[in-house]
Amino acid sequence: MSSMASSTAFFTPLHDFTQARTTPSPPLPFIKSSFASSKSTFFHPALSLQTSSNFPRLFGKPKFFSVHARAATEKTIYDFTVKDIDRKDVSLSKFKGKVLLIVNVASRCGLTSSNYSELSRLYEKYKNQGLEILAFPCNQFGMQEPGSNEDIKQFAYTRYKAEFPIFDKVDVNGPFTTPVYQFLKSSAGGFLGDLIKWNFEKFLVDKNGKVIERYPPTTSPFQIEKDIQKLLAA
């Protein structure tokens, strides 16, 4: 079985805008997006479905995001408070001076096993040097994180022996996007704008709380190791 089920929905532009049209196009139907909020329906008039067989081609190189092209923001990651897996408030200011790798996770994705395994190994290797991994469960992509917080906690802590913090399930796209993800996305745009594309998209944050890099879901945690080492040494 491929890393992503062939029935998974992805989106590509309906029209090839590089070809001139001599007659008006018919109105485009509204198509439900897989990036929709788990609490509401989100529509985009210029998107259509495509199977996940094009997933590697869509994301291209392992790293393609740059924060340098975006306007600097005055906020840092430390300005936000989130809820942990037990729904207790956690101020992210507790991670001041740490290098952060922030990931939206899911338990039933084709990328789950490799990502959880590598994240756990990275955390074990670098946690005493100042690395923190912050995992945010999300059910917006293929409904691949349907369980309760207790289910998610048992899955991650038992099957993968995860020791890094796991937080309350959130929306990362749509009208109910959690504020910390609004900040992350506005700090580092991606291939399709600010939208999170799939499970296990990653953001690397420096010791000052600023987003340094954004990585597509196909970038494995081990591929980020050198970037983590540089920030830890800074």
The total of other beta-carbon atoms located within 10 Å of residue 122's CB is 19
Do the beta carbons of residue 166 and residue 85 sit within 8 Å? yes
Residue 109 a catalytic site member: yes
The 8-class DSSP code of residue 171 comes to: B
Q: How far, in Å, CA of 189 to CA of 214, rounded?
A: 8
The 8-class DSSP code of residue 176 comes to: T
| Burial class of residue 106, CB neighbours in 10 A (0-12, 13-18, 19+) | buried
The active-site residue out of 99, 109, 119, 184 is 109
Encoding tokens for residue 3?
């890393």
CA distances from 78 to 91, 196, 211 (A): 7, 21, 11
Catalytic site residues? 109
